[in-house]
Amino acid sequence: MRLADHLLLLLVGLLAFSHDGQGHADEHQQEDPGTGESSPSLEVAPSNTDFALRFYHLVASQSPKSNIFFSPLSISAAYAMLSLGARSDTGTQILESLGFNLTEVSESAIHQGFQHLLSTLSIPDDKLETRVGSALFLCQNLHLLPRFLNDTLGFYGSKVFPVDCLDLEGTAQLINNHVKEETRGKIDDLVSRLSRDVVMVLVNYIYFKGLWEKPFSRSKDYTEDFYVDEKTVVKVPMMYQDKHHHWYLHDRFVPCSVLRMDYKGNARALFILPDKGKVEQVEEVLTPEMIARWNNVLQKSSFYRKLKLYFPKFSISGSYDLEEILPKLGIRDLFSGSADLSGITTQGSLRVSNSFHKAILEVDEAGTQAAASTTLTTAFLSVPRDRYLLRFNRPFFVVILSTDTQSILFLGKVVNPKKL
Ligand SMILES: *[C@@H]1O[C@H](CO)[C@@H](O)[C@H](O)[C@H]1NC(C)=O
Ligand SMILES: *[C@@H]1O[C@H](CO)[C@@H](O)[C@H](O)[C@H]1NC(C)=O
């Protein structure tokens, strides 16, 4: 009996926020440039958002007290790319589990959507650095079908590197070096060792470096208590600013405050701060609709006002074994004996052995859509009770959005900012 040859999938995500010296306060507000109604990337945006939240809730239910941080876009793009080589049910199962309804959107529209999305994100911007991409590392004796090579290059810009898989350490080193370079040195130890039966490694990465439109000033940092839960208090470096206007609200319907913080360029963050003791209650209603609703409302001038803002300086990361998580979201065949990846190669049967996703978030002084489908009116929303003050000294949610592609780049929950 011939053993199936193994494919290893590695995804990395990284969100780095770094200094640009003392930023200039800039009170002007910028409209989203917007992409046209027919923009192909908007075809995939709702499904990607839907997948992001399903992934989030699964992970949150498995470890409710942990920090969560991942890049749903990186996961969706990598698996959509892999579906190019999957045949029979394996392929449709991947796309359906990623949130696509194949009676409504064709496979080619999905891949064109990702193509547009990835190329939009990669447009060089001197204020915002986003790098997304993927690479295939192939053992020399593996021949990929020309169609798969053409499509992964054309739609997903994937690079191909032949490697000598007998040299387990050398190959791991090569992969790590590639990832390290693409993530500007932030992730340098993605794989520790490769298993002997691996014949192909797919790496997908995203690197995002944003600068706050309204940065904090370094001199105002101090240490403050952060209330992880009723029993746990940690000390965190807290940043402070009180001179800037921001969009923020207190939701009367959901017990939380929501702050929109813009980056320079086409990205923004929503920080959702549950009222004391209300994390679970807010988490329950964290849906695509709710995020769209906050995002839409937080463009209205009535929610734009001066704010005293306390925000921790921190760094968290998330690591996920996707071969454990994705079958629970419907991608089953791919990780089982019935995987059909005959669109990648006809040399033996390929299987995915492991799939690993890692993401890092760093926030400091300088830095780090939404569908217009909301129907809820602003009647439920008000400015925070203590009108001009928001203190992020307890667990909160993070949503990082690319505004022109209406995509969630990163999603997470900061429970304990002292836990990497
Ligand atoms: C897919 O779309 C079709 C047509 O709009 C609809 O009838 C069907 O219920 C949808 N399937 C799923 C699983 O949502
Ligand atoms: C090659 O990829 C492009 C997408 O970049 C696609 O439009 C074209 O049909 C592909 N050609 C073949 C022969 O598969």
The burial class, CB within 10 Å (0-12 / 13-18 / 19+), for 33 is exposed
Q: Is the CB of 104 under 6 A from ligand 1?
A: yes
* Ligand 2, CB cutoff 6 Å, lining residues: 147, 150-151, 154-155
- At residue 3, the pLDDT reads 44
Question: CATH class for domain 7-210+315-362?
Answer: alpha beta
Element (H, E) at 61: helix 40-62
> Looking at 44-58, 61-75, 159-173, 190-204, which range is the least confident one?
190-204
Nearest CA to ligand 1 atom 10: 101
**For ligand 1, is residue 223 a contact (CB within 6 Å)?**
no
Q: Cα(15)–Cα(208) distance, rounded to whole angstroms? A: 5
SS (H, E, C) 322-365: HHHHHHHHCCCHHHCCCCCCCCCCCCCCEEEEEEEEEEEEEECC
The top-level CATH class assigned to 218-313+369-414 is mainly beta
Confidence at residue 358, expressed as pLDDT on a 0 to 100 scale: 80
Q: Is 100 in the pocket of ligand 1 (CB under 6 A)?
A: no
pLDDT digits (tens, 9 = 90+) for 220-265: 678 999 999 989 999 999 988 888 999 999 988 899 999 999 988 8
Can you tell me the distance from the alpha carbon of 376 to that of 204, in angstroms, rounded to the nearest whole number? 37
Q: Any alpha helices (H) in 63-106, and if so which ranges?
A: 72-83, 88-97
* H or E element that contains 299: none
Per-residue confidence (pLDDT) for residue 374, from 0 to 100? 20
Query: What spacing in Å lies between the alpha carbon of 36 and ligand 1's midpoint?
Result: 25
> What is the pLDDT confidence band of residue 5, given thresholds at 50, 70 and 90?
low
β-pair type (396-402, 267-274) = antiparallel
**Quick one: which ligand is closest to 157's CA?**
2
Q: Is 37 touching ligand 1 by the criterion CB < 6 Å? A: no
* Alpha carbon nearest to ligand 1 atom 13, residue: 101
Confidence (pLDDT) at 8: 65
The pLDDT, as a whole number, for residue 383 is 46
Segments making up each domain of the chain, as ranges: 7-210+315-362, 218-313+369-414
What pLDDT, on the 0 to 100 scale, is given for residue 372? Answer: 18
User: Ligand 2: distance of its center to the CA of 155 in Å?
Assistant: 8
Ligand 2 atom closest to Cα of 154?
Answer: 5
- Residue corresponding to tokens 């045949």: 87
Ligand nearest to the CA of 108: 2
Atom 12 in ligand 1: residue holding the nearest Cα: 101
DSSP 78: H
| Sequence-distant (≥ 6) Cβ neighbours of residue 28 within 8 angstroms | none
Ligand nearest to the CA of 105: 1
Of 24-28, 163-167, 190-194, the poorest mean pLDDT is in: 24-28
What does the block give as tokens for 94? 């991947």
Which residues pair with residue 382 across a beta bridge? 250
Give the SS3 label for residue 214.
coil
Tell which atom from ligand 1 comes closest to the C-alpha of 102: 1
For residue 103 and ligand 1, the question of a CB distance below 6 A is answered with yes
Residue 155, burial from CB neighbour count under 10 angstroms (0-12, 13-18, 19+) = buried
Q: Which ligand is nearest to the CA of 104?
A: 1
CA angle 390-392-393, nearest 5°? 125
Ligand 1 binding pocket mutation candidate from 51, 96, 100, 101 (most atoms within 8 A of CB): 101
Distance 343 CA to ligand 1 centre (A): 27
Q: 58-112: per-residue pLDDT in tens?
A: 999 999 999 999 999 989 998 999 999 999 899 999 999 999 999 999 999 999 9
Tokens 């390290």 correspond to what residue? 180
* Ligand 2 atom with least separation from CA of 111: 4
Task: Encode pLDDT of 322-342 as tens digits.
Answer: 888 999 999 999 888 788 888
Strands 68-70 and 314-321, how do they pair? Answer: unpaired
State in Å: Cα 154 to ligand 2 middle: 7
Mean pLDDT, the chain, as a whole number? Answer: 82
Ligand index nearest the alpha carbon of residue 119: 2
What percent of the chain shows pLDDT beyond 70?
85
CA distance 100 to 93: 10
Mutate-to-test residue for ligand 1 from 54, 96, 104, 105, highest number of ligand atoms within 8 A of CB: 104
Task: Find the 292 Cα to ligand 1 centroid distance in Å.
Answer: 22
Residue 45 Cα, ligand 1 centroid: separation in angstroms?
17
pLDDT score recorded for residue 35: 45
| DSSP 3-state of 51 | helix
Q: Which residues sit opposite 308 in a β-bridge? A: 389
